[in-house]
A and B are shown apart, each in its own frame.
Chain A
Amino acid sequence: MSYLPKSPWLVHYDASSCNGCDIEVLACLTPLYDVERFGVLNIGNPKHADIFVVTGSVNEQNKSVIQNIYNQMAEPKVVVAIGACATSGGIFRECYNVQGGVDKVIPVDVYVPGCAARPEAIIDGVVQALGVLEEKYKKMGKVAK
């Protein structure tokens, strides 16, 4: 992938993260890492977003919120699970209120490791998500322009 065919917008939801990954996601948007130079924008409206960035693990209370945001997003969409908690439950996997990674409730396309995930890893995850997004476009018989 030598160029980005479109500016990917992302919606971020903190499932039950410790904030560590969340502030690193925000740090990606700020001057040192500045993903906005690639056209990546963090927005609040799920209907505008192409990429769903989830940090933290799933519990009874936030399950429906995650599904709700996911269902509202327009196709094609990509889910990126950020950090150890979002991929598997991480250090909290044995807690009574943690059910596991985000893939328990919605399909996940890209997993980003780390506790807390480093901004470089997060950016790499989002770039990989763009590749997945492009493939999904092709499958739908459309070309991203």
Chain B
Amino acid sequence: MGERTIIPFGPQHPVLPEPLHLDLILEDEKVVGAVPSIGFVHRGLEKLVEKRDFHEMMYVIERVCGICSFIHGQGYVQTIEGIFDLEIPDRAKFLRTIWAELSRVHSHLLWLGLMADAYGFESLFMHCWRVREKILDIFEETTGGRVIFSVCKVGGVWKDIDNETLKKIVEVLNVVEQESKDLTNVFIKDFTVQKRTRGVGVLTYQEAIDVGAVGPTLRGSGVAMDLRKLGYAAYGELDFEPIVEKDGDCYARTLVRAREIYQSIDLIRQCVSKIPDGEIDVKVKGFPKGEYVSRLEQPRGQVVYYARANGTKYLERFRVRTPTFANIPALLKMLPGCDLADVPLLALTIDPCISCTER
């Protein structure tokens, strides 16, 4: 047994775009333990409900995280609509679903790029982000923003997408699908990549359930849990099955995310073929009173929103439980036993979003 050393990892680290801090306990090159510390990005935005009314809060909640901003906005308005017991028009539901699935494609492509960078495959990283720009162009054309859209509102959506643009989106997605295939082939079939990912950072079925992992991290360990199956927004009318891999290693988690890109593209195609005509919003009168919990599937996993309102224009309490927060214990389970050089890779496979975690 070697001597124990503690190596600080982060908050400013070349592989991390975000400040995650881990104290890694090492025996020679092997990690035997890890202690996370967070708080570098904490803003305390849940407390802002006392200063912003429930309509304005949408814009704050969208900025919980810039990568999955749309679904945060969607979750918030869904919670408030739940308090009002408001039924929104079908077209708005489908539009929300389309934007949410586009967000998933862009988030997973972004993650694949970062993952490639962690292996040292820099051209692959560049190509992933090149393909991702096509999705951002769709966002820009339909909402006006590249990363923050502010297109949801309590009672529906602000903007409609006309049917011609919807067809164009599908055409762009056909190209994205084709190009993504070339990229994901490298992640799935390349010998060197498999050497780095297969059997590394295994999270077993039971461990994944015990630590309460969510999203692709959980599905990579063989648990078929996908909250889109709850049928919120338009998911109830779409045909899909959760994507599950059994091995629980880095390779399985990569595979889940790669396959989810195609699943999302397929879901958008279904939406475009089924979307009804009609209104995109309903009028909201009065102030909310009561409480509501809603759960959604982010690209990173389950996100839970809770809101309590007392009949004034300000909410009394708002709470978000974000997927990365649930996945950090899973990361701590994966780390012991791995090489120091594999730590960045393992930290990435939970797709950490620290901005979400700390809010």
Q: Does residue A140 face the partner (Cβ distance < 8 Å to B)?
A: no
In the complex, per-residue mask of B11-54: 1 if CB is within 8 Å of any chain A CB, else 0: 11111011100000000000000000001111111011001000
Contact of B45 among A14, A19, A30, A92 (CB under 8 A): A92
Closest partner residue, chain A, to B72 (CB atom): A18
Contact between chains at A20 and B129 (CB < 8 Å)? no
Interface residues of A in 1-47 (CB under 8 A from B): 11-24, 26-27, 30-32, 43-46
Interface size class of chain B, counting residues whose CB lies under 8 Å from the partner chain: 35 or more
Contact B129 A26 (CB under 8 A): yes
Please tell me which stretch of A58-66, A74-82, A104-112, A125-133 contacts chain B, meaning at least 4 of its Cβ atoms lie within 8 angstroms of it.
A58-66
Q: Mark A111-128, 1 if CB is under 8 A from B, else 0.
A: 000011011000000000
Within the complex, the shortest CB–CB distance from A68 to chain B, in Å, comes to 8
A91→B63 contact, CB < 8 A:
yes
Greatest chain B CB density within 10 A among A12, A43, A59 is at A59
| A97 on interface, CB distance cutoff 8 Å | yes
Complex alpha-carbon distance, A59 and B43, angstroms: 8
Q: Which residues of B contact A57 (CB under 8 A)?
A: 43
Q: Which residue of B lies closest to A65 (CB)?
A: B11
**Contact code string B128-147 (vs A, CB < 8 Å = 1, else 0):** 01100100100000000111
Q: How many residues belonging to A are interface residues under a CB distance threshold of 8 Å?
A: 41
Q: Is B148 an interface residue (CB 8 A)?
A: yes
Within the complex, the shortest CB–CB distance from A106 to chain B, in Å, comes to 14
With contact pairs A27-B129, A118-B146 given, residues A16 and B66 touching in the complex (Cβ less than 8 Å): no
Residue of A nearest to B358 (CB): A16
Chain A CB within 8 A of B271 CB = no
B64 within 8 A of A: yes
Interfacial chain B residues near A43, Cβ < 8 Å: 14
With A20-B66, A32-B133, A116-B66 already in contact, the answer to whether A98 and B43 are too (CB < 8 A) is yes
Give Cα A37 to B341, complex, Å. Answer: 30
Q: Does B126 contact A (CB under 8 A)?
A: yes
Chain A contacts of B13 at CB under 8 A? 44
Known: A65-B40, A115-B148. A19 touches B66 (CB 8 A): yes
**B157 at the A/B interface (Cβ < 8 Å)?**
no
- B129-A17 in contact (CB<8A): no
Cβ contacts under 8 Å, B47 to chain A: 95-96
Docked CA distance A11–B16 (Å): 12
Q: A30 touches which one: B59, B129, B353 (CB < 8 A)? A: B129
A27 to chain B, nearest CB (A): 7
Q: Which of B99-136 contact A (CB under 8 A)?
A: 110, 113, 125-127, 129-130, 133, 136
* Known A19-B18, A46-B12, A91-B59; further 18 A-B contacts with Cβ < 8 A: A14-B355, A16-B358, A19-B355, A20-B63, A22-B66, A30-B113, A30-B126, A44-B15, A59-B40, A61-B40, A65-B19, A65-B40, A92-B45, A97-B43, A98-B44, A116-B66, A116-B145, A116-B146
